[in-house]
Chain A
Amino acid sequence: MITLSHYLMASGLLFSLGLAGVMLRRNIIIILMCLEMMLSAVNLSIVAFSRYSIVHGHQNYDAQVLVFFIITVAAAEIAVGLAIIVALFRSRQTTHSEDLNSMKF
């Protein structure tokens, strides 16, 4: 049978893949994708904990509402991040993180 640690291990693997991507990749858009992947890994572990803690005979719905909020905030974050990347590309013509070495526009 599936235990809680199966789900937590899958979530941890996905999170560490995202972490490795954030540290190793140079393209800012791909770094944003890896951030999104880390957020989804956290969502997976929250949903797993909610399924394994039974409240009044059904799963813990507070946790699922929290996941709903996390997805919403992640979508807003990605929208703002991509707008910043487009503005950056207009002024610098690059999306490589190594070419962006000053904070002044």
Chain B
Amino acid sequence: MQLTLFWIFSSLMIAFGLGVVTLRSPISCAMCLVSSFICLAAVFITLDAFFIAIVQVLVAAGAVMVLFLFIIMLLNLQAEECRRVKLGVMLGGAVVVLSFMVLLSETLESSPQFSKMMPPITASSQDVSMIGMTLFHSFNLPFQIVGVLLLVATVGVVLLSRRTLR
């Protein structure tokens, strides 16, 4: 059951990711990215990470993609016209991506620790409460620093979007 779900959702995720890279109109790219993120959340659920899956849907597929669509419509972007693709760029991209994939598969083949089965969860604990305990006990200072970072980002966005830039 889990295996079937993993195959369905990971192949859908890769297919929508391919759509983001190949489609021409920015709106279709954004919609493909939303679908890819929702499939990624489903893959998180097969890994028993329920809280992360919900955060992925709410933040990445919800808030961030609404921001993207809003900006695309605000700037009134049309589909990219067919520009001549430079051969060197294509070749370089293909070489880098292919060598990355070959390196990854070699590494995954090389060690037996990557082919172990999924161990069962024995402790009965609630996902969200465990994340809350970890977040507020072990990672309290980083949590506050991230809060300051969000504040700085908000102030930066307001400054950047003023009418005159000086």
Contact B64 A78 (CB under 8 A): yes
- Closest Cβ of chain A to B140, distance in Å, is 11
Q: Please pick, from A30, A32, A37, the residue contacting B17 in the complex, using a CB distance under 8 A.
A: A37
**Selected A-B contacts with CB under 8 Å, 11 pairs:** A2-B46, A3-B114, A33-B68, A43-B40, A51-B118, A54-B121, A57-B122, A71-B60, A72-B149, A83-B157, A86-B160
- Closest Cβ of chain A to B41, distance in Å, is 10
A78 to B20, CA, bound (A): 17
Contact A80 B156 (CB under 8 A): yes
Contacts of A2 in B (CB 8 A): 2-3, 6, 46, 118
Contact B55 A86 (CB under 8 A): no
Between A and B, how many residue pairs show CB distances below 8 Å? 231
A13: Cβ under 8 A from any B Cβ: yes
| Residues of A near any B CB (own CB < 8 A) | 1-10, 12-21, 23-27, 29-30, 32-34, 36-37, 40, 43-44, 47-48, 50-52, 54, 56-59, 61-62, 64-65, 67-69, 71-80, 82-87, 89, 91, 95-96, 98, 105
A69 to B141, CA, bound (A): 12
Beyond A75-B59, A80-B156, A85-B71, is A10–B21 a contact (Cβ under 8 Å)?
no
State the majority secondary structure of interface residues on B.
helix
B108-149 interface mask toward A, CB cutoff 8 Å, 1 = contact, 0 = none?
A: 100001111111011101000011011100110010001001
Contact B21 A65 (CB under 8 A): no
A80 to B152, CA, bound (A): 10
- Closest Cβ of chain B to A22, distance in Å, is 9
A73 to B89, CA, bound (A): 30
Contact B52 A47 (CB under 8 A): yes
Give how many B residues have a beta carbon under 8 Å from the other chain's beta carbons.
82
A84 to B56, CA, bound (A): 24
Q: Please pick, from B10, B47, B92, B156, the residue contacting A51 in the complex, using a CB distance under 8 A.
A: B47
A10 to B56, CA, bound (A): 17
Contacts of B43 in A (CB 8 A): 7, 10, 44
Contact B26 A87 (CB under 8 A): no
A50 to B121, CA, bound (A): 12
Contact B121 A40 (CB under 8 A): no
Contact A51 B49 (CB under 8 A): yes
Seed contacts A13-B14, A47-B44; 19 additional CB < 8 Å A-B pairs: A1-B118, A2-B46, A5-B114, A7-B43, A12-B100, A20-B21, A20-B94, A37-B33, A43-B56, A51-B48, A51-B49, A61-B130, A61-B134, A69-B142, A76-B150, A78-B64, A79-B154, A82-B71, A95-B77
